[in-house]
């Protein structure tokens, strides 16, 4: 199963792979060059399919838990000053996604979307200290019954070139449903109230919509 954001790219890459393989097989006499080209095309097709996969998952929804919005590795757990929306101190949990991770962004909590904004910006590497403030990004805040207002921010990286955000202000959303997609990138930050019980640790691998990163 593949995410809808990848349908056009998958079709395009499949077309290139088929045509390229036919051309190589028909017009290149050198077997080594011919099969090298076909092999590279197949690898590229596999990588595109891998990137846009959207595996079926059995989500356990619970208003007293906050779920990881994406697949990846926890790279930041720290107290920071969040200045775009809250203008006060928050606990930040950041998950870094490699190109082989599933790149669907999911709502960590259910509730009402009270803020949704896109910011154009740079494409610094995702682990750069200023990437959360200077890179292309989207900021979404959902007001939940148990946790209050929770902010999650999609951040593009050096490879990412498009962030898709589905969140619309004033709409009600379900925990673990699709919030967006980062094409070929790269990090999501979650900002929680100070004192929230964190249930993950640094360098822990997490799954979007599955792993509990905080709880009541």
Q: Please list the active-site residues.
A: 186
Point out which residues pair with 96 in neighbouring strands. 73, 187
Cβ burial of 213 (10 Å; 0-12, 13-18, 19+) is buried
Structure tokens at 95: 């998950």
CA distances from 97 to 47, 159, 173 (A): 15, 11, 23
- What are the helix (H) ranges across the chain? 7-27, 31-51, 131-134
- Which residues make beta-bridge pairs with 126? none
Between the CA of residue 172 and those of 10, 111, 155, 169, 180, what are the distances in Å? 31, 6, 23, 9, 15
Strand partners, 65: 215
Q: What is the number of other CB atoms lying within 10 angstroms of the CB of residue 194?
A: 9
């Amino acid at each position: 199963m593949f995410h809808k954001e990848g349908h056009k790219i998958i079709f395009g890459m499949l077309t290139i792979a088929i045509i390229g393989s036919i051309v190589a097989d028909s017009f290149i006499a050198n077997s080594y060059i011919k099969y090298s080209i076909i092999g590279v095309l197949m690898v590229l097709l596999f990588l595109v399919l891998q990137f846009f996969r959207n595996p079926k998952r059995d989500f356990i929804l619970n208003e007293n838990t906050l779920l990881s919005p994406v697949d990846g590795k926890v790279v930041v757990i720290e107290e920071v000053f969040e200045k775009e929306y809250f203008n006060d101190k928050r606990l930040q949990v950041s998950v870094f996604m490699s190109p082989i991770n599933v790149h669907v962004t999911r709502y960590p909590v259910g509730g009402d979307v009270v803020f949704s904004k896109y910011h154009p910006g740079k494409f610094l590497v995702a682990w750069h200290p200023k990437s959360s403030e200077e890179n292309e990004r989207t900021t979404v805040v959902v007001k939940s019954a148990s946790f209050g207002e929770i902010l999650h921010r999609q951040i593009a990286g050096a490879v990412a070139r498009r962030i898709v955000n589905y969140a619309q202000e004033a709409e009600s959303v379900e925990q673990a449903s699709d919030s967006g997609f980062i094409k070929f990138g790269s990090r999501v930050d979650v900002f929680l109230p100070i004192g929230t019980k964190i249930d993950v640790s640094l360098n822990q691998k997490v799954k979007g919509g599955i792993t509990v990163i905080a709880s009541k």
